[in-house]
Structure 1
Amino acid sequence: MKFLVKLIMAMMLVTMVVSCGRTPSRGGGGGAVYVGGNTPQLGDSDPHIWRSGHPYGHQVHGIDISRWQGDINWAQVRGAGISFAFIKATEGGDHSDPNFQRYWREAGAARIPRGAYHYFYFCRSGAEQAAWFIRNVPRERGALPPVIDLEWTNSRTCPRRPPPHEVKREAEIFMQIVGQHYGQRPLIYTTVDFYKDNQLGTMRAEFWLRSVADHPRARYPGQRWTFWQYTGTGIVPGIRGDVDLNAFAGSSADWARWLQTHLSR
């Protein structure tokens, strides 16, 4: 009799999980964490308690990656509901990510829209860095716009923190050269502190904003954004370990329209 009761309770628990349309993932403290929403297969190993708006209701989610993600099963990634990938290509004027070319090919083969990003250093000119990016990133039909990653670096070889006018001048040079080459003006990825320190809101660009502790409207008041990086501890089937997760600002229909107007030709 006790065995029958336990069996019935177990079946009820399974039914509850299935009816919620959610898949459990690893979680902090040994418990399961449910993201749910429109991307039930995505999770977070260290989830934030969202108070003024959360990312899980967004219909379109993507990843950004670098060499540290290792081998990726792109078919699983796509099947989990990932709609785009930004891949680290270069930084400064002399470093390229050793996994970029492989990720670029594999994501393309899996039919995941992907774009390349450049980690900007402040010890090289914008023109030098643009030339290095162009040397390493193919100009390819169907690619997402390139991205310039603007944040304060922790590099011992480049500890410079130039004033805002220099930051924006060199970033604009990079964006003009790269934009002309690829036929797409680069997006700007940035962090809360860097955005404030350099008044980046005055720059003409679409923004990809990092905000892992609150909604972008709270951290970047008045700033419109296209992509929101909401966690660095995301869980995606097909990727071992944590990965950055991002939400697109609009609906699935908005995403389809955005792709139509932004994919490289």
Structure 2
Amino acid sequence: MTTPKELKPIKPRKVQTAKPRAKTARKPPVKKKTQTFSWKPVVIGALLVLLSPFYYGYVVSFFSASWQWVKNIGQNPHYRNYKSFGIDIPTRYKIHGIDVSYAQGKIDWPKVRAMEEDSVRISFAFIKATEGLLTVDPYFKRNWREAAKNGIRCGAYHFFRPYKDGLWQARFFLQNVNIESGDLPPVVDIERLDNVPPQEMRKQLKTFLKHVESKLKTKPIIYTGLSFYKDYLEGGFDEYPLWIAHYNKPELKAGKDTNWWFWQHSETAHITGINHTVDFNAFKGDSLQFEQMLIR
């Protein structure tokens, strides 16, 4: 029998063990820089705005307009209150004026001309000159001179007395009024019968109108109340421009065919420079029509 070869001893395998990783030093976390908010610029800016007069002007204007809007809710947008004048004014019309007599006393016309609220200002004035056959308004000459000197277009009026002769009243009026180019046409104020029959009143009134027209080459304006016009004048004086009194209404309902150009819509206006309440008027047309109405 053969003997097995001598077996070589088996060398044990080397087991490779993983080397431990070297520990790396961790960097400390970077702290983010935090920005601290400063209220100082904001406070300074706010103070500058609050102390600015422009800011207060804007605030006052805003709240004033807002309050006016609230007050006008439900009201006619074309007929609103003007605080400085103390009356409601129809806003459809852009040319406004007053009429005065001795009842207003001594008037400061520069103050009248300077008064204005929301584009409403005094552009014209009708001034009482005479009455009947003997009466000259004691303030006429001063008002006639000073109003025109301050850039207000003027018209003179005669307070008509139906029981007196129309021709002589016309002559008396023209003797006391010097009407020139650029003035408004003369006015005859007729608002009562003075116990005279309507037909007699109309006769004397026509005589007055024809004489004044023949002398000045322009048609006079007739001033009257709406009811007086409808009762006694309508249809008989349609060729003459009308100035009609009808108070505290948003519109003058005189009829679309009525030849009216001036509307006396209030008798209680407050005007700077006048110590008594005043009649307030609106002109129906635009600026071009107003200029065309003036004496040439």
Tell me the TM-score normalised to structure 2 length: 0.68
Alignment correspondent of 2:61: 15
Report if aligned partners of 1:85, 1:114 keep a CA contact under 8 Å in 2: yes
Give the CA deviation at 1:191: 0.7
Alignment correspondent of 1:255: 287
Alignment correspondent of 2:135: 95
1:42 matched to 2:110? The reply is no
Report if aligned partners of 1:35, 1:56 keep a CA contact under 8 Å in 2: no
Give the CA deviation at 1:60: 0.9
Alignment correspondent of 1:192: 226
Query: Using a 3 Å threshold, how does the CA distance of structure 1 residues 180 and 137 change in structure 2: closer, same or farther?
Result: same
Between 108-117 and 166-175, report the one with greater CA deviation.
Answer: 166-175
Alignment correspondent of 2:255: 221
Give the CA deviation at 1:248: 0.6
Give the CA deviation at 1:201: 3.6
Give structure 1 stretches of 5+ with no counterpart.
1-6, 23-33, 48-53, 154-158
Query: Using a 3 Å threshold, how does the CA distance of structure 1 residues 95 and 17 change in structure 2: closer, same or farther?
Result: farther
Query: Using a 3 Å threshold, how does the CA distance of structure 1 residues 237 and 170 change in structure 2: closer, same or farther?
Result: same
Give the CA deviation at 1:196: 2.2
* 1:226 alignment partner, SS class: strand
Distance 2:59 2:162 in 1: 55
Q: Which has the higher contact order (CA 8 A, sep 6+)?
A: 1
* 2:158 alignment partner, SS class: strand
> How far does the alpha carbon of each residue in 1:175-226 deviate from its partner, in whole angstroms, 9 at most, with x for none?
11112222221001101231122133431211100000435543x2342310
Give the CA deviation at 1:135: 1.0
Alignment correspondent of 2:36: none
Give structure 2 stretches of 5+ with no counterpart.
1-49, 69-79, 116-120
> How far does the alpha carbon of each residue in 1:97-137 deviate from its partner, in whole angstroms, 9 at most, with x for none?
00000000001111110010011101111101001101111
1:118 matched to 2:158? The reply is yes
Whichever residue aligns with residue 229 of structure 2, its letter is Y
Query: Using a 3 Å threshold, how does the CA distance of structure 1 residues 85 and 217 change in structure 2: closer, same or farther?
Result: closer
Between 194-203 and 121-130, report the one with greater CA deviation.
Answer: 194-203
Rg larger for: 2
1:173 matched to 2:207? The reply is yes
Distance 1:228 1:13 in 2: 37
Report if aligned partners of 1:63, 1:84 keep a CA contact under 8 Å in 2: yes
1:211 matched to 2:251? The reply is no
* 2:81 alignment partner, SS class: coil
Q: Percent identity?
A: 38
* 2:97 alignment partner, SS class: strand
Tell me the TM-score normalised to structure 1 length: 0.76
Aligned length: 224
Distance 1:112 1:161 in 2: 37
Distance 2:284 2:63 in 1: 28
Between 130-139 and 189-198, report the one with greater CA deviation.
Answer: 189-198
Distance 1:73 1:235 in 2: 13
